[in-house]
Amino acid sequence: MPILQILTNVTEDNIPKDYLTELTSVLAEATKKEKKYMCIHVSPNQKMSFGGSTAPCAIANVICLGQQGVEENKIITKLITAALGKINVTPDRMYVIFRDIAGQDVGYNNTTCAGVS
């Protein structure tokens, strides 16, 4: 149940129409989980600054069942960074934040994801 939330000050008209589909593929590849469980949320037009500048910037939140690990998170960061580069957010103007969540704390399909990793 990987979730990718992107908050960015990039304007909506600068987000490609197929960007959510592309991010779904990126997240599936990065987490090695099926696309059907990916949830992508992009919030453009945010009032944001990074380092005191309002040049394009972003925060990417990656929420996933089970800890990915140090090396896995580095790979995921590179993939997300490359995807955000397509909307002109450079690697030094974003943070990628990882959150490990317990299956019991996620409801899905009339139950929870307890026992799923």
Residues marked as catalytic:
2
Q: What is the 3-state secondary structure (H, E, C) of the chain?
A: CCEEEEEECCCHHHCCCCHHHHHHHHHHHHHCCCHHHCEEEEECCCCCCECCECCCCEEEEEEEECCCCHHHHHHHHHHHHHHHHCCCCCHHHEEEEEEEECHHHCEECCEECCCCC
